Structure formats: structure tokens, C-alpha cells
Amino acid sequence: MTTRTLIKNLAALDDGPVTVSGWVEKVRDQKAVQFVILRDESGALQLVAPRGDTGESIQEAVSALSVGSFVTATGQLKHDERVKLGGIEVKLESLDVASAALPENPIADDSGVDKRMDWRFLDLRRPEANLIFRIQTTLEHAWRTYWVERDFVEIHTPKLMASASESKAELFEVDYFEGKAYLAQSPQFFKQMAQPSGFGKIFEVGPAFRADPSFTSRHATEFTSIDSEISWIDSHEDVMKMHEELLVAGFQAVKDKHGAEIEALFGFELAVPTVPFPRIPLAEAKAIVASRGYEVPRQDDDMDPEGERQIAAYAKETFGHEFVFLTDYASSIRPFYHMRHDDDQGITKSYDLIFNGVEISTGAQREHRIDVLIENAKDKGLDPEELDFYLDFFRYGVPPHGGFGMGLARVLMLMLHLTNIRETTYLFRGPTRLLP
């Protein structure tokens, strides 16, 4: 393996020989001196080749360089405050082109998001995109650390299923030998199975699939779902408590590691939320939104996207908070597995988490009493026989439990003040996108 120094580590070295590898971002082939801006996964560096002082073959190699080519350069590192790019440069002594790029770049700085997605591997070379996925790594690592330190077990549920996991709408059907299978819309049933299995507390990070034909900035047909379930809860309040602590741990880790880069590349200071996040029952939230002059138009008791934006604005103004839990959604719009309040069957022990005006998560206490669960399923027009494998989980003993599912790309999008999950998904999947 080439012994190379990452560009970010050069500044700490003394002047002297170094080897760096990366791709060519820019070439300035001037009369007296040639400059190459080289970028690697950690930063950018100026390579310099003064005409009078550099071998002919290197000068020719620089002149022939196409932007995007991957190269290894060896030369003399020199600290020089006049160099705008980090106060260092490397005077070229050898240049090895590992792979030359075609001369025409298919995307430009001002290309639209769809065009950029066509050429995602080139789009991802942007420092902002690179930062997004380093932040994602830090975020997931911090979440895992939070869970592992508290004895949660990591599970991986199957994504091929015999039935729907959320609803019969938005379901991908695939041929499965002589029959049919369905792609998991969420790990819901099988993450709950860990509770009668005696695992206590679990988490999963994995793909979820929704045959959602819409072209919004926050829906994908495949997304990474962050899920957790915990035993022995008293209510959804216990789930929200874990959920908000988890988010704080993730945000703190991202701020500690990437706060300065976020400021430099995205232009704002990341705020770590404080606990507790505000909690507002949905009925109250709708009244608040109405008092702000917006009447949620839906007849079905749900909150619409504008309502979510309005309640988020209210939470920001009133509590100075970017997060808000909306609780106690109507049973009519929640799945059969959400537990209903004992004293009001019309509302569930559930919540949505809104972050900067967009829903990032749904959570609830689950109904674990088999008779009630069957009644709730019937109430929703579901056939208990079709759900028998799931209902079995509740027939042989199960602790009270609850949990949530959260879309990773949505969290990242809102955290970084971006407006489209295409930017925060490594490779986006939508109704018209299966490539690359």
C-alpha cells in the first residue's frame, strides 16, 4: 500500500518530503509555474511545479492532467503563510497518474439535484457531501455507543416478509420461488418479537422499503430506518425519554467532532438540543396552530406538513426548541399495534417527533394484551388470521414495551438545514430512480 499522508495531517509536519494521493480538483498551467489543487477525503492541497525548477516530464504530466484524475504526488512540503489553502504547499518531484479522468466533467457546480444524482459518485466528491457522510458516521456511532453502554442488543430483522409490516398500501411485492414475498416497510413486527424473546432493549439500523409513488423532498422508496424497542415501560413517556437522550448524545458527538466544519461549509452553528423536548398533545397542537391562523384541513385527525411547520415555529418561539413531540394521536389514524389510553379509547399512547418542522419519527407504547390487540386489529378491518404469526408473540408472555422508528436521512437533512433527503442519502431511491 502506498505510504501516503492524509492532507489534513500535513500542516502538523515539518517541511520535508511527503507523498499524498487524491484527485485533481483544478489545474492552473501558467507560464512560469504550474499549480494543481489536489483533494483527498480529508482536505485540499496546492501542488506547485515552478517551470525553471521542475523536470520536463513532470511539467508535461501536469499539462496533460485532466480534472478528476486520481494521482499520487511526491514532493517537498513547505509551510508558507502566503498560500491561501492552509498555508502549505508541496513542490512536485514526481507525479503518478493512477487513473485518468475523461476530460469533460458531466456535472458542474450549478447542476440540479437530479443531474447530480445521475453522477452521484462525482457529486459526492464535494467537500459538503463528504462532510455529510462523515457526520452520518459520527451520529450512528454515537447512537450505537449510547445503546451499547445501556445494554441494548443490536438485531437485524429480515427484509423479506410474508405480509405487510405497516399497511397494504406502499408495499413492494416480489416473486419468491412459487409464491410472493414483500419487502419490509419497517422492522416493526420483528423488533417487537425481541420483547417476548426476553432481549429487554434492542435497536436496529437497517433498510426499509415503501412503494410510495410521491416525489417529495422527504420521501424515498428505500431508506435507512433507526429503530429501538424497550421493555417494562409505563407509557410512551419512557420511550420519548430514551429517544431525546439518544438525540442529544448524537448531536453532542457531531458538534464536538464536526462543529467547526459545519460552520465553515454550511454556515451555521449546530445547536445541541436540551432535554426535555417540549411535548404537546395533538389536539392542543391543532388548537395552537389554529390560533396562529392556520386551520389544519385534514378531516382525519392528522397533522399536515404545514401544521407541522407551524407547531415547530411555535415550539421555537415559546420554548426555544427545534424539536417537539406531538403526542396522543387519534386511534383512527394510528396502527392497531399502538396502545390506546385506558380512559380514552379514541387516542393512543403514541407520538411523532417533529424536528425543524418535519416529522422524523413515530413512536408508541405497543398493545401487548392479546385480547385487546386482536380487537384493535379487527377494529382496523384487519384479519387476525393473517396476523397470526405476530399475534403468537403475545400468547406466551410478553413484557409491556414500546419504541420508535426514525428516518436517518431526514434527521441528517434537518440537522444540516438542507431541504432534500437526496442530499443526505448515499444513493437515493425513488419512483423513477434505480440507478446508479
Residues of the shown chain interacting with ligand AMO in the complex, contacts defined by CB under 6 A: 166, 186, 188, 210, 212, 219-220, 223, 225, 359-364, 403-407, 410
- Is the CB of 206 or the CB of 281 nearer to ligand AMO? 206
Least gap, CB of 226 to ligand AMO (angstroms): 8
Amino acid at 389: F
Give Dmax over CA atoms of the chain in angstroms.
87
Q: Choose between 40 and 204: whose C-beta lies nearer to ligand AMO.
A: 204
Is the distance from CB of 71 to CB of 29 less than 8 angstroms?
no
Nearest distance from residue 144's CB to ligand AMO, in Å?
A: 18
| β strands within 302-349, DSSP E | 323-327, 340-341, 344-348
In angstroms, give the least distance from the CB of 52 to ligand AMO: 58
Secondary structure (DSSP) of 363-381? EEEBP--HHHHHHHHHHTT
To the nearest 10°, report the CA torsion of 381, 385, 389, 394.
70
Q: Which is nearer to ligand AMO, 39 or 410 (CB)?
A: 410
Residue 364 backbone dihedrals phi, psi, to 5 degrees: -170, 160
Q: 43 or 403: whose CB is closer to ligand AMO?
A: 403
Whole-number Cα distances in Å, 251 to 146, 245, 247, 281, 338: 12, 10, 6, 25, 28
Any bridge partners for residue 201, and if so which? 230
Measured from the CB of residue 189, what is the shortest distance to ligand AMO in angstroms? 9
Distances (CA, A) of 91 to 15, 51, 75, 334: 11, 11, 5, 64
- Nearer to ligand AMO by Cβ, of 219 and 316: the residue is 219
Compare residues 58 and 414 and give the one whose CB is closer to ligand AMO: 414
Residue with cell 459538503: 128
Place of cell 453532542: 252
In the numeric block, the cell 410510495 is attached to 212
Which residue lies nearer to ligand AMO by CB, 322 or 359?
359
Strand-strand pairing, 88-99 and 16-29:
unpaired
Smallest gap from residue 185 Cβ to ligand AMO (A): 7
To the nearest whole angstrom, how small is the minimum distance from the Cβ of residue 177 to ligand AMO? 28
Min dist CB 161 to ligand AMO, Å, is: 13
- Rounded CA separation 298/291 (Å): 16
Residue whose CB is less far from ligand AMO, 23 or 190: 190
Q: With contact defined as beta carbons under 8 Å apart, do 200 and 187 qualify?
A: no
In the complex, least distance from residue 326 CB atom to ligand AMO, rounded to whole angstroms:
12
15 or 379: CB nearest ligand AMO: 379
Cell of 262: 459545519
Q: Which residue is nearest to ligand AMO (CB)?
A: 407
Question: Smallest gap, in angstroms, from Cβ of residue 135 to ligand AMO?
Answer: 17
Residue 107 C-alpha from the chain's centroid:
24
